[in-house]
Amino acid sequence: MGPSQPLHRLLAGLLAALLLSSAATVRAQSASDASRRTAVVDSAQSRIDYFGSAVAHDWRGTSRRLSGRVLVDAEAPARSRVRLSVPVASFDSGNRRRDRKMRETLNAAEHPAVRFRTDSVRVDAWGRTRDGHAGRWTVYGPLTFHGRTRPIEATVRVRVTDDSLVAGTSFPVSLTRFEVDRPRLLFVPIDDTIRVEAAVRAGIAPSAPADSTRSR
């Protein structure tokens, strides 16, 4: 046997080990990706509200034109990702003059939408239910509002079944942080903080498509 034979066997063994390791990684990745499914927001069944305050009164503006997708992984929820968008002009507070002023203040013609996407998800509580999974997440990511993008975090209550996702959240937004010149009522600016509440219902596709909502 020539002196090169042991080296050939060693190289062949290493190559075989690498191939087996790569195949195992691909199988594990495929199994992991199979648990990720796309949920498409149902605008007719979802809503987003903002609550404002001033010296004279409080008010609420509501939109039912929320759209977006959730790439949800019920088995490993920290891998889930969200993209949402709502037109500024779609909010209705029941007062046309106030809504018109709001659109002018937020420069809706130049910045027509409020957008949010997740960078990461922290799972605070999660477990199986009779028909799926449910729990509480904290989501982190950039909110784009008034043409400015700032990081926010929000606690979200989530319930996932075979064919649907239902989520609810409430979080504060500082107007000055997004460089909004606060309107004045009776010569006094409205409160700097508005509260945002969202109730989201989304239908889950029957199979796991490609990851189209992964942060870039």
Q: What is the CATH number of the domain that holds 54?
A: 2.40.128.110
Beta-carbon contacts of 87 under 8 Å, excluding residues fewer than 6 positions away, are 63, 65, 108, 112, 113
Using the predicted structure, report yes or no on whether residue 214 has a pLDDT greater than 60. Answer: no
Q: Each residue of 1-54: pLDDT tens digit? A: 555 566 666 666 666 666 665 444 444 444 445 689 999 999 999 999 999 998
Question: Measured between alpha carbons, how far is 206 from 37 in angstroms, rounded to an integer?
Answer: 8
Q: Global pTM?
A: 0.78
Q: Are 195 and 128 part of one and the same domain?
A: yes
Using CA of residue 70, residue 199, residue 113, residue 151, what is the dihedral sign?
negative
Residue 10 domain boundaries: 1-34
Question: Measured between alpha carbons, how far is 190 from 120 in angstroms, rounded to an integer?
Answer: 33
Answer yes or no: is 210 within a domain. no
Q: Are 17 and 76 part of one and the same domain?
A: no
Q: What is the mean pLDDT of the chain?
A: 87
Q: Are 29 and 45 part of one and the same domain?
A: no
Task: Please give the tally of structural domains in the chain.
Answer: 2
Question: Measured between alpha carbons, how far is 184 from 92 in angstroms, rounded to an integer?
Answer: 19
Q: Are 46 and 116 part of one and the same domain?
A: yes
Answer yes or no: is 91 within a domain. yes
- pLDDT (average), residues 171-188: 88
- pLDDT (average), residues 148-167: 97
Q: Are 117 and 142 in contact (CB under 8 A)?
A: yes
Q: Are 65 and 129 part of one and the same domain?
A: yes
